[in-house]
Amino acid sequence: MLFAEVYKSNGFDEKALEWYKKTLEFYPLNWTCRQNYISLLWKNNRWTEAVLFLSEQRRHFGDTPSILFFLGKSQLELGDTKNACENLALACAMNPDEDYIRECLARAYVQRGKADPAAIDSESEALIYRKSEKSMDVSLSALEQCLHDFVQYVKRDKRMTFWKRDAVKKSHTWISSPEKYAQNLLHTFMKSRFGDSVELFEEIDAGAGRVDVYVRLQGINTVIELKMCGAGYSLSYALDGIEQLAHYLENKQTYLGYLIVFDGRLRDYGKGIEPQYLDGDFTIRTYPVDVRPKIKES
């Protein structure tokens, strides 16, 4: 990003765009980088590239007021007044006090042949109502209920998918990359529950590590770490997730995280895992998942 800033300040727009784009590939949550990238596309009248880029951003991050405004304005400059009006109206409904959005929307209506200012409010309200029918307000309690249900789902229906059986030794070992498999299960479960009402990002950089799952709700951000325990994974390895979470939470500037422990210990299942840990200013809640391949030693 520093390369991009230097090129931009010296008038080398093409090189600046190249480095802003590289930055976003590594760190898609860098909003400042995204805005600078868009502003340079606008400055150079590269409206088609802006629409393509912002459409991709919308697929990744959903309908946020900033993305809708940037996309709507880009479509307007490209001459796509129909989609421009719809996206700007939705941005206006989400952020009705922002004059710059209303002014851009009014210009879009004029270009489309709808000069009546009253149409702005009525269409915005209709769009936001239709959107609200397709999404839900995901609260923290709804997220925690989802995690509780996920624990029960894995315990009841998916526990044996974590194991492969050695027929000779008559024992079970973890499948290859069990934490990645668990991460995919959680992602699928949460998306099926909440759809586009939550934004889930996997393997996002945070300080000195990579977050398993970064969750963005409406007004709430949190981090979920997944750990295995038993059959070669020690309890201390699983509880290292607490320190990791505290580090991730600090870097993401949020204060509540979740540790999901897939516990396959036959003798000591559930032992040594507290329901909640406090680490400085951070609260970490744990969810043990029973993935024992059998209930007890024979």
Find the angle CA(272)-CA(274)-CA(276) to the nearest 5 degrees.
155
In angstroms, rounded to a whole number, what is the distance separating the alpha carbons of residues 239 and 228? 10
Q: Residue 93's pLDDT is what?
A: 80
Q: Per-residue pLDDT for 296 more than 70?
A: no
Where do the domains of the chain lie, and which CATH numbers do they carry?
Answer: 2-134 (1.25.40.10), 140-290 (3.40.1350)
Residue 179 has pLDDT above 70, yes or no: yes
pTM score above 0.85: no
Amino acid at position 221, single letter: N
Q: Give 120-159 pLDDT, tens digit per residue.
A: 555 554 554 444 444 445 677 788 889 999 999 999 999 9
* Average pLDDT, integer, range 46-51: 91
Instruction: Work out the percent of the chain whose per-residue pLDDT is above 90.
Output: 36
In the chain, the amino acid numbered 233 is Y
pLDDT at 147: 92
pLDDT tens profile 84-126: 888 888 888 877 778 888 888 888 888 877 655 455 555 554 5
Give whole-number Cα distances, 17 to 58, 67, 255, in Å. 20, 18, 34
Q: How many Å from the N-terminal Cα to the C-terminal Cα in the chain? A: 59
Please name which of 79, 72, 126 lies closest in space to residue 100, comparing C-alpha atoms: 72
For residue 254, is pLDDT > 50?
A: yes
Instruction: Give yes or no for a contact between 179 and 203, defined as CB atoms under 8 angstroms apart.
Output: no
Where is average pLDDT lowest: 41-45, 176-180, 193-197, 294-298?
294-298
pLDDT of the residue at 85: 87
- The torsion of the CA quartet 16, 19, 21, 26, rounded to 10 degrees, works out to -150
Q: Where are the alpha helices (DSSP H) in the chain?
A: 2-9, 13-26, 31-43, 47-61, 65-78, 81-94, 99-111, 118-134, 140-153, 178-194, 235-252
pLDDT tens digits, 185-225: 898 888 888 877 777 766 555 555 566 787 876 656 888 99
Helix 65-78, helix 99-111: angle, nearest 10: 30
Q: Hey, what's the torsion of the CAs at 61, 64, 70, 74, to 10 degrees?
A: 70
